[in-house]
Amino acid sequence: MEGDGGIEEDGNGQDDRRVKVGLLCRSHPASIADRPIRSFSKENLQELLSTSTVKPVVNQILLHPYVIKSTAPLLEYMDEQHIIAEGYSTLIPLTSKPGGPVDKPVDRIAKRLKVKPEQVLLAWSKAKQ
């Protein structure tokens, strides 16, 4: 039986989205692999990689200096798996949490390089990727 959007239903009337995803993976593996995943933890990635035949290329993660200690193991694992980290909310130390311990070093670096503090944090994030 066919449900909405061409997704097959199982005998209980539940959508079997695995069928649709499986078909997409077989017919367009590059397009599926090129799509980023978002906010996957190390454990999420390990589970995904143990069951999937299509490896993600990019994982979009929260990345700024105030979370780097907790994010470091994930970044290391992603590097081992050749998954690119794409940071979001990198400017939180300047926009949402000003006055914190990152302000002074970022300001010093920005003055030394004659750039804006935002550019310093964006370069920091890019270096972590």
- Site of tokens 């980290």: 85
CB-CB contact of 36 with 60 (8 Å): yes
The model carries a pTM of 0.68
Q: Which tokens is 35 given?
A: 């799509």
Looking at the predicted structure, is the pLDDT value of residue 102 above 70?
yes
Residues 76 and 117: their CA atoms lie apart, in Å, by: 26
Q: What mean pLDDT comes out for the span 38-52? A: 90
Looking at the predicted structure, is the pLDDT value of residue 8 above 80?
no
Quick: pLDDT tens for 57-76. Answer: 899 999 999 999 999 999 99
Residue % of the chain over a pLDDT of 90: 59
CB-based burial, 3-36: b 16+ in 10 Å, e otherwise = eeeeeeeeeeeeeeeeeeeeeeeeeeeeebeeee
Strand partners, 85: 59
